[in-house]
């Protein structure tokens, strides 16, 4: 409770300050002089095409928001001390990616056309569906530690006939090294699991040696806490991370051989 109050206090001051700073730095397409970033902005940020897959995913979200079902959820933030019952509607409202960001993930995956995709943090599978539906031919691995959450996500994937998703259930600390041993290279990784500095840097460092040329790593909630922001600042400095883009909540890292290292803060 005391920790919760502390975080709420930190967020109240940290977020408005961060938002102001972001607005002052953020550029539009006209302030962008990189051909790659220009194309990315046009297709991913400015894109407004209503893809066929958007409506079924949002319909699923509304069904889950209206659900009375409760499931047991393991709390990894507290060091796996057991599980608590939570309403599915509450999980969806608090943890699932918002519509606008889900669409950005869809367009980004569509733009990058990755073959091997990894998501760290499935929850009930809303973000998984946005990304996997954009690339139906890709091998999509999604990881979740809470067994009943993963089971319900699996039902959601079946409902929306998303057949290219492979689920891995268990604590990332154990499952991530095992999963990475089975992969030759990564084209796309979405980090949306443990929103703390050390675990985020740890997962990033584990995935880094497998990053293919033209790969993208996406970090969600880079301003969730001062610790997450500090992890993002450290990640920007990674020498192989040639193009890094700050979209306020998402941090994007592109690995592009031969490109000059540059950082962008873009309006979104």
Nearer to ligand SAM by Cβ, of 37 and 252: the residue is: 252
Contact 188, 114 (CB under 8 A): yes
Q: Helix or strand or coil: residue 93?
A: helix
131 binds ligand SAM (CB under 6 A): no
The CB-of-127 to ligand SAM minimum distance in angstroms stands at: 3
State which of residues 194, 242, 244, 249 lies at the interface with ligand SAM (CB under 6 A): 194
Q: According to CB under 6 A, which residues from 72 to 111 bind ligand SAM? A: 76, 95-97
Q: Which of 122, 160, 156, 114 is nearest to 138 (CA)?
A: 114
Contact 75, 81 (CB under 8 A): yes
State which of residues 40, 172, 217, 268 lies at the interface with ligand SAM (CB under 6 A): 172
188 binds ligand SAM (CB under 6 A): no
CA 206 vs CA 54, 90, 91, 178, 211: distances in Å: 32, 32, 28, 11, 10
Neighbours of 150 (CB within 10 A): 20
Packing angle of the helix pair 54-66, 99-112 (nearest 10 deg):
150
Nearer to ligand SAM by Cβ, of 45 and 61: the residue is: 61
251 binds ligand SAM (CB under 6 A): no
Distance CA 147, CA 170 (A): 8
Part of the chain binding ligand SAM (CB under 6 A), chosen from 10-18, 62-70, 120-128, 252-260:
120-128
Strand partners, 84: 73
167 binds ligand SAM (CB under 6 A): no
The CB-of-190 to ligand SAM minimum distance in angstroms stands at: 7
The CB-of-81 to ligand SAM minimum distance in angstroms stands at: 13
Residue numbers of the site for ligand SAM (CB under 6 A)?
76, 95-97, 121, 123, 126-127, 144-146, 149, 171-173, 192-194
């Amino acid at each position: 409770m005391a920790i919760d109050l502390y975080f709420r206090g930190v967020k109240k001051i940290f977020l408005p300050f961060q938002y102001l700073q972001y607005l002052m730095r953020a550029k539009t397409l006209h302030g962008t002089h990189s051909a790659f970033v220009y194309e990315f902005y046009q297709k991913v940020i400015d894109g407004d095409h209503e893809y066929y897959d958007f409506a079924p995913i949002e319909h699923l979200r509304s069904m889950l928001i209206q659900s009375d079902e409760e499931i047991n959820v393991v709390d990894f933030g507290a060091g796996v001390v057991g599980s608590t019952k939570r309403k599915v509607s509450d999980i969806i409202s608090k943890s699932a990616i918002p519509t606008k960001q889900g669409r950005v993930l869809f367009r980004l995956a569509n733009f990058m056309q990755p073959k091997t995709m990894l998501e760290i943090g499935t929850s009930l599978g809303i973000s998984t569906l946005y990304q996997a539906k954009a690339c139906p031919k890709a091998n999509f691995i999604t990881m979740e530690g809470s067994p009943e959450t993963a089971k319900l996500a699996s039902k959601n994937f079946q409902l929306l006939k998303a057949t290219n998703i492979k689920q891995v259930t268990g604590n990332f600390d154990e499952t991530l090294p095992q999963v990475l041993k089975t992969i030759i290279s990564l084209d796309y990784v979405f980090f949306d699991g443990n929103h703390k500095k050390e675990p985020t840097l740890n997962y990033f460092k584990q995935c880094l040696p497998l990053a293919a040329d033209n790969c993208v790593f996406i970090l969600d909630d880079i301003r969730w806490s001062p610790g997450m922001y500090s992890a993002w600042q450290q990640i920007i400095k990674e020498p192989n991370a040639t193009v890094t883009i700050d979209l306020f909540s998402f941090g994007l890292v592109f690995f592009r051989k031969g490109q000059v290292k540059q950082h962008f803060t873009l309006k979104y």
